[in-house]
Each structure stands twice: as C-alpha cells, then as structure tokens.
Structure 1
Amino acid sequence: MPSDSFARLLLTSDTHVPTRARSLPAPLLRALDEADVVFHAGDWVDTATLDLFEARARWLVAVHGNNDGQELRERLPEVARAELAGLRFAVVHETGPARGREQRCRSRFPDTDVLVFGHSHIPWDSRAPGGPRLLNPGSPTDRRRQPFATYLTARADDGHLTELRLHRLPPRS
C-alpha cells in the first residue's frame, strides 16, 4: 500500500496476451513488482494475465476493455477510481477519437485529476483545460503503427504527478 504522501505508479493497457504476445515483457513485469499502485486500462484478453497482475500488484486499479470477454467483464468495471497521495485517478478503456478528447473527458470525469485510458495503443499525454490530465501508456505488447511498444511509470507525490516516464520496449525476438 502506498504512503499517504507518495506512491510509485505503473500505467499500462492493451496487454492482449496471448493474442498479440505469448507473454508480458520482462521490463513490464519488473515495473509491476516495483510499483505501489498499478493501473491497467483494459484489453487483457485472458484471465490468466489479470490473475498474474492481481497476484503481483500491491494495489491494482483496473478496467475491462472492448476485447475482453464475459469473464473479465464480470471481474472488472468499465470505470475504476482511486485516490492516493492527494490525487484523484480514474481509469477507462476508451475515450473516443483524439479530436475533442480533452473536452469529452473534462465533462465525463469532472472530479478527476488524472485519467488513465487505453484502446488506441498510442501513448498520449495532454491536459483538459479545467479538467484532468489524460494519460495513455500505449501497449507493452502491440505497438501497431508506433515505433515502440510502451508503458508509463510515474510518482504520485503530495498532490502532484512527477517523474512521468514513457518506457520504450525493445522489439520482441
């Protein structure tokens, strides 16, 4: 469990195991073990990956995605929320098209400081004027048209998000 004033965070989404990768990348698993709080924005695809995250994460804040079947939908909500280190977080899989995203998310999540989302597999970092910071960690297993597979780490520190880092993963062999 994180302290009241800070927490080390792992943000990931769209793991798609075993459809897009046979297993999770080792750097992601190390980050999972080091984090105080893990955010996963859906598209797990299999329950074994969720089981692995639940077993290894100190605190998991997670949702289901559009590629997740009934069993995952029964275990995970569409939207998850957490308050830690003075920040209000929300997690959702889809936020719609990039155009207008900030305004939609400001309206949908007015009481949120940081919104973690997925679906596109494209890393994203923006702020909705008068609304939440929007973060998409990309995908650690399926880069689609991106140059790298990715995930994010950060630190929630006394009401601030600090040390935000996009991790680029080496190509799978």
Structure 2
Amino acid sequence: MKITILSDTHLPKKGKGFPDDLINDLKECECIIHAGDFQTVDTYNRLKEFGEVTGVAGNVDEEKLKDILPKKITLLVNGMKIGIVHGDGSGKTTEKRAEEAFSDEPVDLVVFGHSHIPYLRYHQGVLLFNPGSPTDKRRQPMYSHGVLTIEDESKWSIQHKFYS
C-alpha cells in the first residue's frame, strides 16, 4: 500500500494548486494523509478528488474545516498504527509536541507538520515524520512531501520527495 503524506499546503494563499511532483504521487497512492494547514475546505475537497483523505486541522485552517477535522487522529493501516497531528502550540519544539500528543497510546509513526521543515527521526522507538510543505518551503531549499509504503506492520518504509 502506498500513502502520500503532506502538510502545510496553505492554498490558495501560497500557490494556485498542487505541484506536478505531488500530483504524480497522489494519482498513484491508495490513500492520503494531511497533517493540517490545508487552509480552506476547497483545498481539502480538491485532495479528496485523488482518493481517501485522513487529515487533521491545523492552526491556520478556516473554522469550517476545523469543525470537520479533529486536532489529532490515529489511523490503522495494514497493522501499522499512525498518529497524525499538526504540532502547533506553545512551548517545546514542534517535534516534542507531536511526540507528546501520542504519549498515551502506542503508535509506530507520528506524522506532523506546522514547522514546514522535513523531519525523519526516531524518538524513543517511534518514528516522527514531518513531510515539509509542497507549496510553502519557507527557508528550506526545496518543497517536499512524503511517501509511505506498507507491506505489513513489520515491513514498511517512508521517504521524503524533494523538488523545486
């Protein structure tokens, strides 16, 4: 199973649409994970045209979207438990807030966003993954999103896709 992971799309404020590199993976995936800051319901609905979307609300999402989406969610896919949260808040680092959001339940992977900084590291046996942003790279050298490939709960891989 192939899952496309993205966050911080900030559309239409930060672009007119999804970049081609992202669209290619969206067309080939079985489902989509978005870690918040779609910005608008229209962006959320546009993603749903590519397939099933599991997403969370981010701090700049419009109120209508915050009414539809949870602040955090746990997804079970092929035996793999994935925690999804935006990661915004005060105090601590974005990574620490994301990790702590799932401290009360065991997960294999925590997907988060907010910082727009691609991140891939283990913390206390849990992989933390920030896909970066496909539309708002801020001070990063490239735009990015992620692809997760799952065979079963013990055999999976995740990677960033970078593009300009």
Q: What TM-score, normalized to structure 2?
A: 0.89
Structure 1 stretches of at least 4 aligned residues deviating more than 6 Å after TM superposition: none
Count of matched residue positions in the alignment of Structure 1 and Structure 2: 162
Q: 2:21 aligns with which of 19, 27, 31?
A: 27
Q: What corresponds to 2:57 in structure 1?
A: 64
Identity %: 30
Q: Is the 8 A contact 2:35 2:55 kept in 1?
A: yes
Q: CA deviation at 1:105?
A: 2.7
- Unaligned runs of 5+ residues in structure 2 are none
Residues 41-120 of structure 1 aligned to structure 2 (within 5 Å): 41-57=35-51, 59-94=52-87, 97-98=92-93, 101=96, 104-105=99-100, 108-120=103-115
Q: Is the 8 A contact 2:134 2:145 kept in 1?
A: yes
Return the alpha-carbon distance in structure 1 between the equivalents of residues 94 and 25 of structure 2. Answer: 32
Deviates more, 1:105-114 or 1:144-153: 105-114
Q: Which amino acid aligns with 2:61?
A: D
Q: CA deviation at 1:141?
A: 0.4
Q: Which amino acid aligns with 1:112?
A: V
- Unaligned runs of 5+ residues in structure 1 are 1-6
Q: Which amino acid aligns with 1:77?
A: P
Q: CA deviation at 1:162?
A: 3.1
Q: What corresponds to 1:11 in structure 2?
A: 5
Q: CA RMSD in A?
A: 2.1
Deviates more, 1:45-54 or 1:102-111: 102-111
**What's the secondary structure of 2:120's corresponding residue?**
strand
Q: What TM-score, normalized to structure 1?
A: 0.85
